[in-house]
Amino acid sequence: MLLLFLDGVGLGVASCEHNPFSRAEMPALADLLGRDWFLRSRGPIFAQRASLVPTDACLGVQGRPQSATGQATLMTGLNVARAVGQHYGPFPNHQITTMLTDRNLLMEARSAGQAIAFLNPYPTQFFQAVQSGRRAYSAIQVAVLAAGLGLRTHDDLVAGRAVSPDFTAEAWRSRLRSPETPLLTPEVAGRHLAKMAQGYNLTVFDHWPSDLIGHSQDLAAAVALLERLDMVVGGLLGAWDADEGLLVITSDHGNLEDLSTRHHTCNPVPTILVGRDHQRFATGIRSLMDIAPVVLRFLSDGS
């Protein structure tokens, strides 16, 4: 299984002015799910090769969903927002961190003997900022560390053991001034994700630039990001063993689909499943709380 997490992506309304999905050319996902798959009005989609389930990120708690509680719910299967009494973020507080370190799907899968990988690399500056207290770990990073996986580094990226959050690694060269970092085309990055996932029972990848661009309200940048993402998905699907594996794409809250606001939205998020028994697993998903149980059930079925 490959769990591809897209930060801040919801299902919105048709709008060429505010919804970049309405402008972006995304042939791979359109071929997979049909035209206008990204609209919340479409409801669940059950196609031959894939399913899409609009997934509740509000969880019965007032206010706009936030990253810490949303990601922690994805990782634990618990209604973390209700447990802490609010949507909270971007980084987990002590209570959320405790919930993640007590139990999360990565810990459960590893204790069951599953081979797990988290493919995101982090630069030296990130680790220095955490050690100095200038930044905190995200909920996903807390879950990864609690499972004893560790975080991959720049050396892993250069050696081909990790995938850049922007897929191509252009940001490592332009912003982090790392000329030795190999550049990938989006299609090659997708194939690389698929190839790396073949070596594990469960692989997790966190694509967070989608949330940053949503907050920036930059329509052109959002369209470019979505078109790059679609090329990645095209490369991934071309190398994916749909008869054996299950690809799950999901998010923690809406944002990118409505650039009329710089804030998160209350829209449902898309959960897309591609591969073995995708319809059967899709029928068990209603909210973010259902993602972890589906992941663990798939791994158990395949063991």
DSSP secondary structure letters along 178-206:
-TTSPP--HHHHHHHHHHHHTTSSEEEEE
Q: Does residue 22 surpass a pLDDT of 90? A: yes
The whole-number pLDDT of residue 174 equals 86
Q: Does residue 32 surpass a pLDDT of 90? A: yes
The whole-number pLDDT of residue 81 equals 98
What is the pLDDT confidence band of residue 173, given thresholds at 50, 70 and 90? confident
Q: Please tell me the distance from the alpha carbon of residue 169 to that of residue 76, in angstroms, as a whole number.
A: 30
Q: Could you tell me the end-to-end alpha-carbon distance of the chain, in angstroms, rounded to an integer?
A: 12
Q: Does residue 136 surpass a pLDDT of 60? A: yes
Specify whether the CB–CB gap between 169 and 157 falls below 8 A: yes
User: In the numeric block, which tokens belong to residue 91?
Assistant: 């980084």
Q: Please tell me the distance from the alpha carbon of residue 109 to that of residue 303, in angstroms, as a whole number.
A: 11
Measured torsion, CA atoms of residues 14, 24, 285, 105, in degrees rounded to the nearest 10? -140
**Percentage of the residues of the chain whose pLDDT score is greater than 90:** 94
Provide CATH code, domain 2-302. Answer: 3.40.720.10
Q: Does residue 75 surpass a pLDDT of 70? A: yes
Average pLDDT over residues 166-170: 95
Average pLDDT over residues 53-58: 98
Q: Does residue 48 surpass a pLDDT of 90? A: yes
The whole-number pLDDT of residue 126 equals 95
H helix intervals, 175-290: 186-197, 209-216, 219-239, 278-282
The whole-number pLDDT of residue 152 equals 97
What mean pLDDT is reported for the chain? 96
Average pLDDT over residues 220-234: 98
Q: What is the pLDDT of residues 246-303, one digit of tens each?
A: 999 999 999 999 999 999 999 999 999 999 999 999 999 999 999 999 999 999 986 4
Q: Does residue 199 surpass a pLDDT of 80? A: yes
Query: Model-level pTM?
Result: 0.96
H helix or E strand, kind and range, residue 50: strand 50-55
